Amino acid sequence: MRFYSQSLVRGLYVAFLCSILTLKLQAQSSPEPVVDQRVETVSIIFRLAEGTGYTMKQLNRYVEDIEKHFGPYKNHAAVQFARKLVRTRGMGYNGPMDLAVHLSAPPEFKPVVTFTKQIPEERWGKSNADKFIVLLRDFYRDAKCEEFFSAHREYYERAQKNFKASMGTVDVSWFEKFYGEKPKGIFNLIIGLGNGGANYGSKVVFPDGREDLYPIISNALPDSLGFATFKPEHIQSTIIHEYNHSFVNYLVYARASEFTPEVKSVFSAVSKPMKNMAYSRWEIMVNESLVREGEIQYAKMHGASDKGIINRIRDEQGRGWVWMDKLHDLLEKYNANRQTYPTFKSFIPEVIKFYKSLGDVNQLVADFEKMRPQVVRIEPISSNAEIDSNLTEMIIYFDRPMGKGISIGLGKKGIDHFPLLREKDAVKWSEDGKSLQLKTALKPGWDYEFTLLPWSLRSTEGYMISQKEYSFRTRE
């Protein structure tokens, strides 16, 4: 997922590691990124429980330390209960993180709002969440978590420093100008070192309607010494995305009944790609569409080219919001009529009308799929025949001119089965952009796989291909 409270302090050390340094978005500065003991403790338990999204090992040094310290506790009652939730409730991805941010600092781990069937997240339910918290406290004590966190103080400090260096400058003042009001709630920025590679957008909703946001960013890569580093483009885009949420979400939830029943049919038409992104309800679909359009508006106002804007719109259409071009036109109307619509809140009735009048979204999906470029053939690969291992190149033919970007990834079997040379001049587009020449390095009697990824393989009109994996075998 592209995935809000006062500091929770228990002593100077805990204040350093676990207090949530927050930014009220009206302040024109960037938030302080922190490593959070609540997030790390819960992620460690779900790593031991092999929860979905928590088993990746990008940060090998840190994961090895986790396994060494916590390995003896892999059958602790907290881990066993987490395994049960993984098996019976599909617990994974955002679920554990949603619970973590709803708790106070360790060792108390007290709920900061009342739990219900839906809070902290529907897969938990009140009884499971209450039971897990008791076991979580025991795990924190029994597994000597504070000792582990103290030993990794330098590692966390380095991660925070590297993260902050990658943040760059985010124009916070733009958000208040665009939305016409101050944000509802507090923005917290968490580094999730133990999570794996996924990012999550968790939040806490208080009884007064205030929402505190917790983007938990985990896509770190190790440097030569194993310390966590971060790519600036990933960090900045995540922060901009989450800033938008603090202005959008409460507006949709406050008028949710006005979107129905038509919006439920919209969600039904695109439920598969939405659920693949862990967006399981129509409210999330609508929020995300507005947030992503907010990102597009931010990019436009900060120098993005017309082509860049079109590509961003096509990206979101390819992810499932096939109406994003129409939504973009609607927000352009908002931009052009700010005297009529001084705030985005005053424009929400137009958004409601938009979703109620989208019509046959299945037809929109079909129309969009027709616009995707297609692979006509790949020479000399055929459906069944093995190919000569002396082959030094293959050519991919498309049905229309392409934008000459490259995005080709590994197959399921990994790098040892990747057929392409990993050199700068190993790929070459034809002059007309309709064929792509790839240099290969093959050996006899071997299975090869590669994946054509959509992000840069797009037509000159900005439409991306559908992701697809190709495989073949060489003759002995």
pLDDT, tens digit (0-9, with 9 covering 90-100), for 324-347: 999 999 999 999 999 999 999 999
Q: What is residue 232's predicted lDDT score, i.e. its pLDDT? A: 87
Does pLDDT of 171 surpass 50? Answer: yes
Distance CA 155, CA 303 (A): 37
b (16+ CB within 10 A) / e for 198-227: bbbbbbbbeeeeebbbbbbbbbbebeeeeb
Bridge partners of residue 402, in order along the sequence: 459
Does pLDDT of 22 surpass 50? Answer: no
Mean pLDDT across the stretch 55-61? 90
- CATH no. for 372-473: 2.60.40.1220
Q: What is residue 236's predicted lDDT score, i.e. its pLDDT? A: 85
Mean pLDDT across the stretch 285-292? 97
Taking a C-beta distance cutoff of 8 angstroms, is the pair 475, 389 a contact?
Answer: yes
* Residue 209 DSSP symbol: S
Q: What is residue 11's predicted lDDT score, i.e. its pLDDT? A: 31
pLDDT, tens digit (0-9, with 9 covering 90-100), for 386-399: 999 999 999 999 99
Taking a C-beta distance cutoff of 8 angstroms, is the pair 38, 120 a contact?
Answer: no
pLDDT, tens digit (0-9, with 9 covering 90-100), for 414-437: 889 999 987 778 899 999 999 999
Distance CA 89, CA 63 (A): 26
pLDDT, tens digit (0-9, with 9 covering 90-100), for 76-88: 999 999 999 999 9
pLDDT, tens digit (0-9, with 9 covering 90-100), for 177-189: 999 998 777 889 9
Answer with the residue of higher pLDDT: 155 or 28. Answer: 155
pLDDT grade for 30, boundaries at 50, 70 and 90: low
Least Cα distance to 202 among 89, 95, 127, 90 occurs for: 95
> Domain coordinates of the chain in residue numbers?
11-232, 255-370, 372-473
How many residues are listed for the chain in this entry?
A: 476
pLDDT grade for 21, boundaries at 50, 70 and 90: very low
Does pLDDT of 90 surpass 80? Answer: yes
Q: What is residue 233's predicted lDDT score, i.e. its pLDDT? A: 81
Distance CA 238, CA 252 (A): 21
Q: What is residue 4's predicted lDDT score, i.e. its pLDDT? A: 26
Mean pLDDT across the stretch 236-263? 89
Does pLDDT of 166 surpass 50? Answer: yes
Long-range Cβ pairs for the range 339-345 (8 Å, 24+): 341/180, 342/180, 343/179, 343/180, 343/181, 344/178, 344/179, 344/180, 344/181, 344/247, 344/248, 344/251, 345/179, 345/180, 345/181, 345/251
Does pLDDT of 31 surpass 80? Answer: no
Distance CA 242, CA 1 (A): 11
Percent of the chain with pLDDT over 70: 93
pLDDT, tens digit (0-9, with 9 covering 90-100), for 294-332: 999 999 999 999 999 999 999 999 999 999 999 999 999
Q: What is residue 1's predicted lDDT score, i.e. its pLDDT? A: 41
Least Cα distance to 159 among 226, 220, 219, 228 occurs for: 228
pTM beyond 0.75, yes or no: no
Q: What is residue 185's predicted lDDT score, i.e. its pLDDT? A: 73
Mean pLDDT across the stretch 454-469? 92
Mean pLDDT across the stretch 221-240? 89
pLDDT grade for 27, boundaries at 50, 70 and 90: very low
* Residue 71 DSSP symbol: G
Q: What is residue 278's predicted lDDT score, i.e. its pLDDT? A: 76
Helix, strand and coil content of the chain, in percent to the nearest 5, comes to 45, 15, 40
Q: What is residue 196's predicted lDDT score, i.e. its pLDDT? A: 79
pLDDT grade for 12, boundaries at 50, 70 and 90: very low
467 CB-near residues (< 8 Å, 6+ apart): 451, 452, 453, 454
Mean pLDDT of the chain, nearest integer: 89
Burial of 14 (0-12, 13-18, 19+ CB in 10 A): middle
Q: What is residue 94's predicted lDDT score, i.e. its pLDDT? A: 87
Does pLDDT of 149 surpass 90? Answer: yes
Does pLDDT of 19 surpass 50? Answer: no
Q: What is residue 383's predicted lDDT score, i.e. its pLDDT? A: 66
pLDDT grade for 89, boundaries at 50, 70 and 90: very high
Distance CA 441, CA 412 (A): 18
Q: What is residue 29's predicted lDDT score, i.e. its pLDDT? A: 52
Q: What is the CA radius of gyration of the chain?
A: 24
